[in-house]
Homo-oligomer: A and B are copies of this chain.
């Protein structure tokens, strides 16, 4: 099995080696051994890093992400928790869509202040409703509160 050293991984995924070392340190990824001093990574790490990147972009903390997939590929969260997170993502996707539309609107709408523009207010209104607020219970990231 072809191993990668940190430089190759870094090159490939565009993440600094220092960051990869840090991820290794906190157990988010793990090297399969050493060649001399040098960490050797299995190719799977590239997949893991893609996952991590997605997770971060969803606003999850590194700790959360570790819990979802584990550095070994096994999640240590119960199924229900995972489903909940997926549901939160659904909500977040809707919000992002609204934000995207709002941004496009703001870019094109000639109104001097958007607070007065009905279209703007409607777009923002998409997310107006307060959700049940039990959200922050566990890890905070799920509610995008960071």
Contacts and interface: CB of A to CB of B under 8 A. Distances in A.
A23 interface: no
Interface stretch (A2-10, A24-32, A84-92): A84-92
A124 B47 contact: yes
- Max count, chain B CB within 10 A of own CB: residue among A73, A145, A146: A73
Contacts of A47: 115, 121, 124
Interface string A74-92: 1100010011011001101
A1 interface: no
Contacts of A56: 144-146
Specify the main secondary structure of chain A where it touches its partner: helix
Nearest to A115: B73
B112 A74 contact: yes
Given A68-B106, A103-B68, A107-B82, A144 B98 contact: no
Most chain-B Cβ atoms within 10 A of its Cβ — which of A82, A106, A124, A128? A106
Contacts of A89: 96, 99-100, 103
A145 B14 CA distance: 11
25 contacts: A14-B130, A14-B133, A47-B124, A51-B99, A51-B102, A54-B95, A54-B98, A54-B99, A54-B127, A56-B145, A57-B59, A58-B95, A58-B99, A68-B103, A69-B106, A69-B114, A72-B113, A73-B115, A75-B107, A79-B108, A85-B103, A89-B99, A90-B100, A93-B96, A93-B100
